[in-house]
Structure 1
Amino acid sequence: MRSSNPARIWLTTACAVTLLTAGAVSVAAPPAQRPAGGVNLETTLVGAHTTFQGYGPVVLTGVGLVVDLPGTGGDPAPSAYRTMLLDELKRHDIRIPNTILASPNTALVVVRTYLPPLLQPGDKLDVEVIAPESANATSLAGGWLMECHLTEQTLVPGQGLMKGHTYARAKGPVLAAGVAMPSEKTAASQMLRGRVLAGAMLTRSRELAINLRNDFRSVRNSSRIANAVGTRFHDYDKYGIKKPMAVAKTDAKIALELQPRYKDNYPRYLEVIKHIAFAESPVAQRVRMQRLQEELFEPETAEEAALQLEAIGGASVPLLKAALKAPTLECQFQSAMALAYLGEADGIPVLAQAAREEPAFRVFALAALSTIDDADAHMALRELMSQNSEELRYGAFRALWTLDRRDPFIRGEPMLEPIDPLLADDIEAQKDRQLHFVLHVLETSGDPMVHITLRTRPEVVIFGADQKFATPLLLSAGRNVMITAQPGSETASVVRFEANRPDQRKEVSLNVAEVIRTAVELGARYPDVVQMLSEASRQRNLATRLATDALPEAGRVYNRPRSADAPSTLEKPAKPTKIGRDHMAPNLFPIDHEKAEREGSGSGDWADSEGVQASVPADTKPVAVKDEKPANSDKPSTPAAPAADKVDSDDAKKKPFGLIPRLRERF
């Protein structure tokens, strides 16, 4: 065997470094003029040897009681649900549980929510409430869900239904599905389903971890990957001490925490982690960066290149800024996305353009803008709220609210429950007033629009402050508040009527925001306001558009334009390409898990996916997901993820069952 010549090795290395240095300083040059580097070194990325544990949503279930119904409840028939609720009532020394359940003003409901990863105790989630057929109820409209516990549950053969940890407690006003969008054909069934927006409060967090594949697991590899991730992503504790976001626990498991910049887009966070290189030498990284610089200018490779450069960190910023001048919007957009999550504001104009002009990029562009704490980002989002697209306007609003909810342009007005006149001077009573929803009145220049939410958080956003109801007017805001106005009148009467009490009446202008405020002062809750606005829109008392959950979505098709320098007779149009995956948008824009289940495209185990924002062929078909609850079954639904333990958590045992105090007052 021929021996190596040390002089030859030294000379080869020196030439390679010279070429790399020349390539690094020419970031502004177009791809054709940049040197190729002359070296091809393979780099292993974290995603090649790992999966993520605890990413998919976990179904939490419970059985609860809806009260305050106007005679639309019922005595539930014997069932597993009734037994569970009776046991809970008896456990808390309720002496007449059967009398409570038999009341026509109460209804047994099944409560369910989806718990995503990386949330912390105190965070809020929507809950779905369903009155099963055995509940013998006719409507949940106007009801209040008493506090109940939500746990992991699974059906174990031979052992029955086993409970796991209690993760949340749920309560609040029920927004019946048929209230916002009534239909003669579906109203009866819809009134037995509903949501409590932000009704569940988490009591414990879920663990997220990186798992090494079996053929790669070892203490050495686990430590190397944890070190690579921890070097790239870190935070500081309350003492200012730097702490890594990844810590190796075993030879196959790495505990992972969320880096704060990605708190509203943790799918991207996990995608970037998959693209982190480990055991890469500085020379190999320089070679890879030069190659990625060229790939940023090609639409087919720009996304992958931008993710890898984002994973490298601050050293990639000059390359990404240069690609903002790429000839196609797609290449500019991918670079601007990476820059945003690296804390750079240079890509703001590109992100605003992408959100405005290309619906397939919109959800990701708005999420990226929400991370840039810069005055230009504020102004760009304000301008987008005056566009004509409903989802663009509300999406920009939500992005700005996420960026800075105290921004004076969008600052909301809390709609609190009215206080008893006898307690008007009680400071403690004032503090304990419950927040019904938040009203936002925006001074926008686009077409007037009113937006209501049926998911995530209760809020009404009025785009255009001077909107008025048209007369004649006859609207209901729940069963106790009515709004009327005669033809040609300049004012409206808002009246609260209740048995055995004098009517309360207020005269206000026809301004939409003013009517909402007054209705809340007289006792209307968020579901009642949604009912009022829906009636007004249906009766054409609301001349403007009423939009509901107008959120941009992931997984839309983008048609790449033809290359500018290719002969049109020789080149065929590019195949339509999906940007992102269905029902896997940034968590800033939460998905409808029920809709995802119906369409058979649940998130499943994301660990082996191609990425949340990764481009996939447009004709990719989703994999069907089996229904969790068997047809014609009155047993609790079985979550896909089994419970970790077979007993309730200590937290659930210590905390009192929330409905007990009010039930004792009533019975």
Structure 2
Amino acid sequence: MVDRSAFRCCIHVLWLLIPLVGTSCTESSLRLQNNDSLEDVISEVVLLRDITDAFGGYPMEIQAIGLVGNLDQTGGDPPPSGFRQMLLTEMQKRGVESPSQILASPTTALVLARAMVPPGIQKGDRFDVEVYVPQEHAEVTSLRDGVMYEARLAEQAVAGGRLRQGKVIGLAQGMLLVDPAGDPSDRSGELRRGVILGGGVALESRQIGLLIRSESQSVRTSAQVGAAVNRRFYRTQRGIKAGVATPKTDEYVELVIHPRYKDNIYRYVDVLRSIPVQETTAQRQLRMRYLGRRLMDPLTASDAALQLEAIGLDAKTVLLRGLESQDAEVRFRSAESLAYLDRPEAAAACGEAVREYPAFRAAALTALGSMDDPAARDQLVQLLGESSAESRYGAFRALRSMNKLDPLVRGEELDGAFSYHVLDTRGPSMVHVARSRRAELILFGPKERLQTPMILDAGNYIQVNGISADRVEVVKILPGESEQRREVTSVLDDVVRAIVEVGGSYSDVVQALTQAKAAGALGCRLEVDALPDWGRKFVSTPRARKLVDGDVAVISDKEVLSIDPEVEADAAEIQLQQIGSSAISASGELGSGSAEQAGSAGLGAVFRVPDGRWSWPPRIGRMWSPQGE
């Protein structure tokens, strides 16, 4: 039987303890609600960036000495030099007969090839290769229509007064794309350099990883870092889940690139380094509350979003609140992280960033391209109809990154010469040609017509003669071969196909398009690599309004949020139209000499307007676009 006096004593003691417990809980709550105390609790959590540094996040330059053939008597015998001797030695190793005689031919040229291999590239991936003639080889006047034979690309350095070659990293070969507006009289200029789009292939993968700082190095720390990363990221191989991190030594953890971040490796590493080494559930809840406050501040939103993205789907509620902010940067940072978590709510906000804020355009398009959710595809399809060239082409690239077999962007290979896409989209007609990654021509709008009469050159042996609106002749006359002739309508799609049918290359088509634009025969916009720039700065000020007055885009006198370079492109378009109109009005019609006149007068204007996309810079082609901020 229970002693009643003992029971009453226990009850009395409990009543005495209740105020103490309540006081303790109140003090704990007050401590956690205090910002300084909360920051103290958060500071106890060690992130990977506190003890590691990124490794392998830089492009690698590789070079080779190569031989270009198929030149139209514009090559020549290279003078005696170390380059010549190295090429002769390489040709002899490969069993080439009479190498000196081949080098002396005017149809060949000794060239230097180089490429920037991006971080994280995988074995078999392709990259652009830049090709140029050494300065001392003055006999070579042009590389147009040239084809480079296989060259072995490797790291090179001068040691002991000699050029030393390292391990072969890639192979390069293929047809050169040369500036279609190059001046043959310029012996040091555009025609002596070119780019092989996607002409390089990696022979091995480049690894990225995390280096543990010296003060934290140990086998235990390396294992903890690997475990922390693998709790957040994994990949599936043949139905088996495997982590992306592998501790190799006490100071190095090797990483596999997660498919979601294949187009934004720099962000991938930033997110990984925002993962905590160890964290309790209570600490995570407190940290999410703390990061939620920082997310609402534009000054700290970027870092807060990265840390929330590193937490994963548990942080989606906090990020979703960021989408409701009145601040554009807070909304975008939240949407970007949600996109990499593949949340459908991110699609509309990323689409808004592409349309309204040029500073966020590159990152927003990349984020949309990383998603699997149908909402992202819907946004990208809508962006194909925007007036902005960057938005349209960026959306196209993002759709291909999402699924290159998507019927909308799959396109076709025209006689193996280049990838060709005709998109039936809303918005104004536009023609886009690529000078990086791959030979690619896109027609935004299938009904664009060339304005006749006109005469265009497509390479050295193909001529496009616009006789009337319904009659355009494409003729190829090559010495020693029978004449080839195609008669089509003035619809641009028909003309492009006719040029390829008679044997025209990608370079020939691009040359015809640039001449057509310069002569006023192509009425729509012609863009070259209209990719948004990652380096734009966002200034948090009232957004400028764009007022459309006829064909002229005018920026209001308000302070702008971020400068859109496409305003300059619009101005250039107007100048170009004026050039074309004046050329036509001066002669009444374009006769046999019009193409040549346009080449001397109009082409200079086309490729030297304020927007850099209209010109072929000295280093043709974007070797690698850093995917980061």
Instruction: Give the structure-2-normalised TM-score.
Output: 0.81
Distance 2:224 2:195 in 1: 45
Deviation at 1:492, TM superposition (A): 0.9
Change (3 A) 1:67 1:184: closer
Does residue 1:542 correspond to 2:522, yes or no? yes
Change (3 A) 1:470 1:187: farther
Residue in 1 aligned with 2:216? Answer: 216
Map 1:568-607 to 2 at 5 A.
Answer: none
Change (3 A) 1:187 1:38: closer
Residue in 2 aligned with 1:650? Answer: none
Work out the percentage of aligned pairs sharing the same amino acid.
Answer: 36
Distance 2:52 2:24 in 1: 33
Q: Whose Rg is larger?
A: 2
Distance 1:596 1:188 in 2: 10
Distance 2:407 2:472 in 1: 29
Residue in 1 aligned with 2:340? Answer: 341
Distance 2:122 2:351 in 1: 31
Deviation at 1:376, TM superposition (A): 2.2
Does residue 1:520 correspond to 2:500, yes or no? yes
Does residue 1:273 correspond to 2:272, yes or no? yes
Given that 1:36 and 1:290 are in contact with CA atoms closer than 8 Å, whether structure 2 keeps it comes out as: no
Aligned length: 544
Give structure 2 stretches of 5+ with no counterpart. Answer: 1-16, 544-557, 565-612
Does residue 1:454 correspond to 2:435, yes or no? yes
Which moves more between the two structures, 365-374 or 57-66? 365-374
For residues 512-562 of structure 1, give each alpha carbon's deviation from its aligned partner in whole angstroms, at most 9, with x where no partner exists. Answer: 111111211211111111111111111111111111111101121212137
Map 1:164-563 to 2 at 5 A.
Answer: 164-176=166-178, 178-179=179-180, 181-182=181-182, 189-238=189-238, 240-416=239-415, 435-486=416-467, 488-561=468-541
Map 1:79-228 to 2 at 5 A.
Answer: 79-135=81-137, 136-157=139-160, 160-176=162-178, 178-179=179-180, 181-182=181-182, 189-228=189-228
Change (3 A) 1:468 1:575: closer
Q: Which has more helix, going by share of residues?
A: 2
Distance 1:293 1:248 in 2: 32
Which moves more between the two structures, 60-69 or 319-328? 319-328
Deviation at 1:162, TM superposition (A): 2.2
Deviation at 1:182, TM superposition (A): 3.7
Change (3 A) 1:105 1:319: same
Given that 1:484 and 1:494 are in contact with CA atoms closer than 8 Å, whether structure 2 keeps it comes out as: yes
Given that 1:173 and 1:527 are in contact with CA atoms closer than 8 Å, whether structure 2 keeps it comes out as: no
Distance 2:393 2:541 in 1: 28
Name the amino acid aligned to 2:140.
Answer: A
Distance 1:253 1:574 in 2: 48
Map 1:14-29 to 2 at 5 A.
Answer: none
Distance 1:204 1:334 in 2: 35
Distance 1:410 1:305 in 2: 35
Residue in 2 aligned with 1:651? Answer: none
Distance 2:458 2:39 in 1: 72
Which moves more between the two structures, 527-536 or 399-408? 399-408
Which moves more between the two structures, 374-383 or 506-515? 374-383
Match of residue 54, structure 1, among 53, 56, 80: 56
Secondary structure in 1 matching 2:299: helix
Distance 2:619 2:515 in 1: 30
Deviation at 1:94, TM superposition (A): 2.2
Distance 1:595 1:337 in 2: 32
RMSD: 3.2
Deviation at 1:44, TM superposition (A): 1.6
Secondary structure in 2 matching 1:191: helix
Distance 1:597 1:74 in 2: 23
Deviation at 1:144, TM superposition (A): 0.7
Distance 2:28 2:505 in 1: 68
Name the amino acid aligned to 2:252.
Answer: K
Deviation at 1:171, TM superposition (A): 0.9
Give structure 1 stretches of 5+ with no counterpart. Answer: 1-5, 24-31, 417-434, 564-572, 580-590, 614-667
Name the amino acid aligned to 2:202.
Answer: L
Which structure 1 residue ranges, 4+ long, deviate > 6 Å from structure 2? 6-20, 34-39, 573-579, 594-598
For residues 448-504 of structure 1, give each alpha carbon's deviation from its aligned partner in whole angstroms, at most 9, with x where no partner exists. Answer: 110111111110111111001111121122222221122x34121112222222111
Change (3 A) 1:403 1:596: farther
Which moves more between the two structures, 407-416 or 535-544? 407-416
Secondary structure in 1 matching 2:408: coil
Instruction: Give the structure-1-normalised TM-score.
Output: 0.76
Secondary structure in 2 matching 1:498: coil
Distance 1:101 1:597 in 2: 25
Deviation at 1:315, TM superposition (A): 0.7
Distance 1:59 1:144 in 2: 22
Secondary structure in 2 matching 1:501: coil
Distance 2:92 2:369 in 1: 48
Distance 1:227 1:557 in 2: 36
Deviation at 1:308, TM superposition (A): 0.2
Given that 1:271 and 1:612 are in contact with CA atoms closer than 8 Å, whether structure 2 keeps it comes out as: no
Deviation at 1:147, TM superposition (A): 1.2
Change (3 A) 1:12 1:596: farther
Change (3 A) 1:39 1:254: closer
Distance 1:471 1:575 in 2: 42
Residue in 2 aligned with 1:647? Answer: none
